[in-house]
Structure 1
């Protein structure tokens, strides 16, 4: 588990760090909170939102329920903390995976692979559970909406600093990112590929790489992106 402070991204730091120390607390309190939050992510990913409980998370974390409630006093407080934690974690994981990626001809292909790999994690599964549950739970939706907005802006801000300038400065930059992100997230969330899974997901990944990385694909994306800019300006 990564417990470094997230200070690089201005959008994601608008979500308070749920493991931050209060005045006079020792570092072990932060480690305990991170342990609890990691356990909450694991329970969400494995068992789903409805089965998330303070008792279950405490058991997963290997601590007493009383000890867990000292840090997060109710299920609602725990859920709010998990939302903030998993949002920050996903940006942190993305940045760590993309940092140092060579700015060579294979950059975009590797970026697609990283995007897909990170959708196979407990963090994304927990995020999906929370997102889906928030559609019919107004209280949860009120917590998720700022987290979703922070994630969207923070992911873009991170990409601007991680992608080669010739890509981040291009008119189709956001369209490229949206196509990759939302197509892959849709596949991961629906999980509807029930036969020839490896072959079909492989074909989707190859298609994405061709669409965003070949001259023909980029020309099409550029045309669509410029059309969107013209519509916005009209």
Structure 2
């Protein structure tokens, strides 16, 4: 199962698709540029993202780069959409590959930890952090974040096995794993005894979604939230 052949994230244009009257090569060149921009973001952060550095990373001349993305704003707008689409693609294809495994839930948790260590996630996290204080970036990133959240929910609804989706607290479990993993990865505040603590967090997220105790805790949290909302 893949995003290919579907029309995911319709509100986020795919800059890698050839435009009217273009050869396919132009779309491939834009993908090369945007993939290079992901590498630059992951390595140098949002402040280090420049036309010149991305062109160098992509192995293109500055004029060739500017032909496709004449300004940094144009590059950033396309990059936000590209990074978001890549995160959804990686997530969807990753969980789809686990569908027939008896340990689906445990492996899905492991997948979240593994993908959080990828350059695509690092680039997404850099954009999320910078969008807090950069109004121009936020203009592009906030709608992309909403589209990403919707797309992950849609993918989980289509791909996760029926017995997992029927469990009370399914959405809460997904949120708890996602935001714990992302928070740990983005803040990187675990310094002392790092390997042991990370291993414990990874084990905790597995138990949360696979053990009877974890599922009971999710059910209690849902009940408390409903009670508090009355």
Using structure 1 for the length normalisation, give the TM-score.
Answer: 0.92
Residue 68 (structure 1) shift: 0.9
RMSD: 1.7
Work out whether residues 3 and 92 of structure 2, in 8 Å CA contact, stay in contact via their aligned partners in 1: no
1:3-47 deviation line (CA, Å, top 9, x unaligned): x9755364x232111112111111111110000000000001001
Following superposition of structure 1 onto structure 2, how do residues 118-197 of structure 1 map, counting pairs within 5 Å? 118-197=115-194
Partner in structure 1 of residue 216 of structure 2: 219
Residue 227 (structure 1) shift: 3.9
How far apart, CA to CA, are the structure 2 residues paired with 1:207 and 1:149? 27
Partner in structure 1 of residue 6 of structure 2: 8
How far apart, CA to CA, are the structure 2 residues paired with 1:182 and 1:195? 22
Partner in structure 2 of residue 19 of structure 1: 16
How far apart, CA to CA, are the structure 2 residues paired with 1:197 and 1:34? 36
Residue 171 (structure 1) shift: 2.7
Partner in structure 1 of residue 91 of structure 2: 94
Name structure 2 gaps, 5 residues minimum.
none
How far apart, CA to CA, are the structure 1 residues paired with 2:216 and 2:45? 42
How far apart, CA to CA, are the structure 1 residues paired with 2:81 and 2:91? 16
How far apart, CA to CA, are the structure 2 residues paired with 1:225 and 1:57? 46
Name structure 1 gaps, 5 residues minimum.
none
Distance 1:7 1:150, change over 3 A: farther
Work out whether residues 9 and 158 of structure 1, in 8 Å CA contact, stay in contact via their aligned partners in 2: no
Secondary structure of 2:60's counterpart equals coil
How far apart, CA to CA, are the structure 1 residues paired with 2:41 and 2:156? 28
Using structure 2 for the length normalisation, give the TM-score.
Answer: 0.94
Distance 1:32 1:104, change over 3 A: closer
Please tell me whether residue 37 in structure 1 is matched to residue 27 in structure 2: no
1:41-78 deviation line (CA, Å, top 9, x unaligned): 00010011111110110010001111111111100000
Aligned length: 229
1:94-119 deviation line (CA, Å, top 9, x unaligned): 11111131445411110010000000
